[in-house]
Structure 1
Amino acid sequence: MKNYICVILTTLCCLVGSFTAQAGNQPVYYPSSGNVPFSKAVKVGDTLYLSGLIGAGKAGLPKEFNAQITQLMDNLQSTLASFDLTTDAVFKCTVMIDDMDRWPDFNNIYIKYFKADRLPARSAFGADGLAMGAIAELECMAYMPGAQ
């Protein structure tokens, strides 16, 4: 069932991106650093689609939940900053978490990274087997107006 939901979400994102691209905006791909088979982000029109982020830092993936989620959110801020954006630009997030019982703990950290009046639309689902054994993965869309 979880894989089925992932396929639906991925298909929906592709359809939205395809519709925007057909409206005359060509995608701009921003390569990831490191040897991974995906882009860090893709911009179509005024929308920046960020690839899923996990809580890995320079020292690797912390084992402790709060440390890993804090690093995940720091990674989001860092990625946005590389595009001269802040979390104010984020309008949609999808959260994949390996233990939905930790959802309140996730929210306690997540909420600190957004202004109360600028919370993104969000969906979440429990997931088993995230990349590198991560506790959670976060993918976001951000508004990034201007020239490509």
Structure 2
Amino acid sequence: MTFKHLTAALALLASAGLTHAADAEFYNKGNPPGRPFSLAVRAGDFVYLSGQMGTDDKGLVPGGFEAQSRKAMDNVADILKGMGLGMDNVVKCTIMIADMGKWADFNKVYASYFKPGHLPARSAFGANGLALGGEVEVECMAYAPVNK
């Protein structure tokens, strides 16, 4: 890491109210052992969720794209709930879809998880080779002020 990158990283941490990464809170309730990532990390007023797929404790849920989409969104909601938050806290999502021809189908499922007029900012892109052979992955960021 160059000095320029280190300075930028420290500035980002300071803007989040953190003095160093050790001040972040790592959430792993229900995360199976051995996974090389946290389900979510709170850094100041923001919570960053790892990408969620349409999986349960047995793997990919049966039922195809719609079932995986619903389960991925349910997984996001469950992680937020475990942290005392809800879908209203979500401010940004990134959606990865194995078949962009199913983008409109995903939008129908996705929109049902948010109040009308309270949709997060979002990016979506086609992804070849999602983990576990999944059809969709959803990554979100939530805003949850610490001193509210």
Taking every aligned residue pair, what percent have the same amino acid on both sides?
Answer: 46
Question: 1:145 is paired with a residue of what secondary structure?
Answer: coil
Q: Which residue of 1 aligns with 2:67?
A: 67
For 2:75 and 2:9, locate their aligned partners in 1 and report how far apart those are by CA, in whole Å.
Answer: 24
Q: Which residue of 2 aligns with 1:29?
A: 26
Alignment of structure 1 residues 1-148 onto 2, 5 Å: 19-23=11-15, 24-25=17-18, 26-31=23-28, 33-34=31-32, 35-63=34-62, 64-146=64-146
Letter in 2 for 1:21: L
Deviation at 1:62, TM superposition (A): 2.5
> CA 1:17–1:103 in structure 2 vs 1: closer, same or farther (change >3 Å)?
farther
Over the aligned positions, Cα root-mean-square deviation in angstroms equals 2.0
Unpaired runs of 5+ in structure 1?
1-14
Larger Rg: 2
Are 1:41 and 1:48, in contact at CA under 8 Å, matched by a contact in 2?
Answer: yes
Structure-2-length-normalised TM-score: 0.82
Aligned positions, number:
133
Over residues 106-142 of structure 1, what are the superposed CA-to-partner deviations in whole Å (9 max), with x where a residue is unaligned? 0010000001111000001100111111101110000
Structure-1-length-normalised TM-score: 0.82
Unpaired runs of 5+ in structure 2?
1-6
Question: 1:19 is paired with a residue of what secondary structure?
Answer: helix
Q: Which residue of 2 aligns with 1:6?
A: none
